[in-house]
Structure 1
């Protein structure tokens, strides 16, 4: 089972441009997923799928996704608006208006939750969302489960993008997860950076963005004294592949830019491949 992830697409940042830069970057990633050697079984789009939450951006996004030969499972981030999302992507409502749902796969479950509070950049998770998640996890206590969400509930070190561990929503979410040991990990976005971190005995896999990335700068930042540091950088559009091997989810991070080949599998490398495979049991 191969699960692809894209995040922080930010369609509509340049709304009047038919050749929008963020749409071009999205299409480059979709080209790799559709035409490359690792075509996934499904694609997760983990929030901030639009930049302003406007109806036209969701329309354009649905058009972009329509060429995918695999199902696309979208969710919302702090740049999205639920009403416009639901109008274009119906069927992902948990009954309370939140974008929460479960994808049942042959060997595991993906439970998507909604961490959007409209008008706030950081995450949110209220008691109604927590009750839904608690009940949803209780339905399959023995099945390996991964929670899909936009905001990671951890402090990353990129100070202006941080989630503070004492934020109330983090405590509400953590209390639910602690009751359900079948939750193996979280799949997140938001940081515009690929990050892996241990949390509550689980693994959080955070994917870089298809839109331009946040600069990797771990120095403190002073909100009262701009210092001209880079904030957003135009690295290649990124994506993740999460491979379920029957035991655990293995996460890979890649980009849609050029990959210069330095070696290929030909007769010269065949002995190495044989030697490496012969070392393994079975």
Structure 2
């Protein structure tokens, strides 16, 4: 099965810019690229920070754009989002019985859980409170021994980044305790504005960069808090025996300085 992971759109109203970039144009380019090259994807997940300021207009414009996007898409919330504003626009959107933007789907015998880790201002950290934990417990129990993939905005563990580790999931150990004994194969998150992958307590994980500004790996390696580095989305291939996550720098994909027919012979 193939699916796509996108994160951290930071949309502002169409025509406006954020730190010198146009988030809506970036989103349009990303979606067009996915349609062109990955129309066979089972679904797309956008894991939060949909809108820079959580404003209603940005959500309306996002909803309108996704209305004619031909691939099933699941949108989630991050720390820049406003849950009430989001639900006022995505009125039919996914939410649990307590109004958190959480949902689950099953594809090819595999369970995918989309979590709501929005804590709310003024904090940029994440939170997974008792009500949300209760929903997750139910979903984990219902999944049984089926493979599980989790999507969330905030990482539930430190990622060796001096800024991001200050604003990860607040109640990370309580959250991780819920996963013990369940068949969680991979955790997808955003928030970090960096391409990240690794393994934590036997679970693999990955995160794509933002579609707009990034965070330098080392603070003060550039003069500004954010950096201008390639935007990427993740193309995920999941099977019973493996998971492969490709990060595609779709805005930086240019021909090499070579003849178009060079190196096209047999490689094996």
Distance apart, 1:145 and its partner CA: 0.6
| 2:28 matched residue in structure 1 | 27
- Alignment counterpart, residue 238 of structure 2, candidates 240, 244, 254: 244
TM-score (norm 2): 0.89
The 5-angstrom pairing of residues 264-275 of structure 1 reads 269-272=264-267, 275=268
Contact 1:153 1:163 in 2 (8 A): no
Deviation at 1:144, TM superposition (A): 0.7
Pairwise CA distance, 1:141: 1.4
- Post-superposition Cα deviations, 1:143-174, rounded to whole Å, max 9, x if no partner, equal 11111000011212221221578x75101111
- Kindly state the Cα deviation for residue 67 of structure 1 after the two structures are TM-superposed: 3.1
CA RMSD of aligned residues (A): 2.5
- Count residues in correspondence: 262
Question: SS of 1:77's equivalent?
Answer: coil
Q: Deviations over 1:71-103 (max 9, x none)?
A: 110000001111121222223111101111102
Aligned residue number for residue 136 of structure 1? 139
Matches within 5 A, 1:1-282: 1-12=1-12, 15=13, 17=15, 21-36=22-37, 39-89=40-90, 90-119=92-121, 120-163=123-166, 168-180=170-182, 182-217=183-218, 229-262=223-256, 269-272=264-267, 275=268
CA contact 1:124–1:169 (8 Å) conserved in 2? yes
3-state DSSP of counterpart to 1:3: strand
TM-score, normalised to structure 1, is 0.85
Q: Is the 8 A contact 1:114 1:150 kept in 2?
A: yes
CA distance in 2, matches of 1:24, 1:149: 25
Asked if the contact 2:2–2:41 (Cα under 8 Å) also holds between the matched residues in 1, the reply is yes
Q: Is the 8 A contact 1:2 1:241 kept in 2?
A: yes
In 2: Cα distance, 1:170 partner to 1:37 partner: 34
- 1:44 counterpart SS class: strand
**Could you tell me how far 1:4 is from its partner in structure 2?**
0.4
Decide whether aligned partners of structure 1 residues 198 and 264 sit closer, same or farther in structure 2, where only a CA change above 3 A counts. Answer: farther
SS of structure 2 residue aligned to 1:65: helix
Counterpart Cα distance in 2 of 1:164 and 1:179: 27
Deviations 1:112-135 (A, max 9, x none): 111101112011011111111011
- CA deviations 1:33-79 (Å, max 9, x no partner) are 01125652210000001111111110011122223211110000001
Residue ranges of structure 2 left out of the alignment (5+ in a row): none
The answer to whether the 8 A contact 1:77-1:151 is kept is yes
Q: What is residue 279 of structure 1 aligned with on the other side?
A: none
String of CA shifts for 1:181-201, please: whole Å, max 9, x gaps. Answer: x11120100000010121121
SS in 1 for 2:5: strand
Corresponding residue for 1:223? none
* Higher Rg: 1
**Distance verdict in 2 for CA 1:47–1:266, change over 3 Å:** same
